[in-house]
Each structure stands twice: as structure tokens, then as C-alpha cells.
Amino acid sequence: MSAPDRMPTYFISHGGGPWPWMKDQLGDAYAPLEHFLRALPEQLPARPRALLVITGHWETPDLRVSSGERPGMIYDYYNFPPHTYEIEYPAAGDPELAELISQRLQAAGITVRQDPARGFDHGTFVPLAVSWPEADVPVVMLSMLDHRDPAQHIAIGRALASLRDEGVLIIGSGLSYHNLRLMNAAGAEPSRQFDNWLQQTLTGAIGTERSQALTQWEAAPAARIAHAEEDHLVPLFVVAGAAENDPAECVHHEEGAFGHITVSSFRFG
């Protein structure tokens, strides 16, 4: 692909549980997120060759990339209706892309191993089922390192940046606010404060300035309230690293998600 056809990268706030299959219970609570996800393919310069998803639901001590031809399903949520444990998202894997990802990472001095058994967790299949309901684009997943170091995850993104010129759409799937104990009125102000910092940091800076700010995210207002555990923030570091020198824009913003919470999603490039 030429530069005008270079794929952007995305950080998606993917919502809670299997929400697209619970409209009878949830009504239009997820309408803004659904609208954004449905429109996402139209924002791309071309149809993706494949999707590379860094999911906030796959954390490992050593970096891993899914390499199976037909990934299965992982229902990593609890106390939801029985039918949500029968969901299928039959997208193919892409072993050749998994090998290419491994090569790019190793060339950058980053150790990775392939995992042919990894299936689609809900951080992967939930947003993709809305954006690509036909499941007709191959999907590969990349884990997060369990030490969660921002600089190292930004470096992982840098090592994979060239995939954007080869038709690969890189998606970080997490949540801009993820404190399950404060998904209520008590979380409204902390989520707003942290979201304001995200907006200013991601859209107001670029290159190493933005990357440096992300490495110091814990100093942001309400950071450790918004992310008592930062597993749902780490995917942002990877997609920001993969588009380090590109501007960012907020492409999905809600005040009142989950009833009270401010959340956002971002596009880079």
C-alpha cells in the first residue's frame, strides 16, 4: 500500500460483556458505541487484509501471537444469559500473518512465540462482530505482557508499524475507564478527569512527546481510580506506538456510559 492507503490504528472502548446480544435487556444503552463500530469499516482507506487485535483480555508473561487457522471462542464473562455462551464468531485466523508478526518483532529484538490454541475472547469478538458481522476478515490476536510496562508496549507497536502499509488494521481493544468497583455515580468525576487527560494527551501531542506522556500515565488526574488495574489501557500503548508520528482524533465519546461513566475511543492516522 502507498502512504495514502496506509491503515490507521484504533483504540476501542469495547463496552461491557456480550452487549450486542443483550438488546432485550439493555435497550439502546450501547447505541453510540454500536453506531461507531458499524461505521468503522467505512473510515478505512481500503478493505483490510486482516485485523490484528491487542485485547485487554489476554495477558501473558511472554509475548504471544495467535497462529491458529480457526480460532475457537472464549466466553470470559460471568453471570450473563445462557444464550451469550453460545455465540460464534467464525472468522479465520491467519498463520502467515502470525509468522510475519513474529519476524517483525524478533527483528526489533522483541521475543514472541506463536500460540495456535488461542481463541477469540470477548474483547476481540464483541467489537468485531459489530464492525464485521460477516466474520469475513481474518483475525490475529497479540497478547499484552503482564508487567504492563508502557514503554515496552509502545516499542511493540513501533515494531509492527510497517504492517499498516500491508493492509493490516491494528486495533487495541480495551476501555478508557475500567474500574469495575466504580462503574456508578462515584466513577463519574474520575472518569471525566482521566478522559480529559486522554483527549489532551492523544490529540494535543504527537511523536515522542505523546509517547513520553503515555509512559507517565499514572501521573494523570484520577489515573489510578480510572485504572486500578491497567489491563484495559495497555492496548492503547501498542496502537499509539504503531502510529507514533500520526495525529490522533477522538472517534467515539460518551458521557453516561454504563449510566455514569465517560469513555472514549481514538483513531491514529
Q: What is the pTM of this model?
A: 0.97
260-269 confidence digits (pLDDT tens): 999 999 999 9
Radius of gyration (C-alpha) of the chain in whole angstroms? 17
pLDDT tens per residue across span 227-245: 999 999 999 999 999 999 9
Does the domain at 3-268 match CATH 3.40.50.720? Answer given as no
Residue range 85-109, pLDDT digits in tens = 999 999 999 999 999 999 999 999 9
Q: In angstroms, rounded to a whole number, what is the distance separating the alpha carbons of residues 90 and 21?
A: 16
pLDDT value at residue 1 = 44
CB atoms within 10 A of CB 224: 15
- When pLDDT is cut at 50, 70 and 90, the band that residue 180 belongs to is confident
Q: What is the pLDDT of residue 5?
A: 87
pLDDT at 132: 98
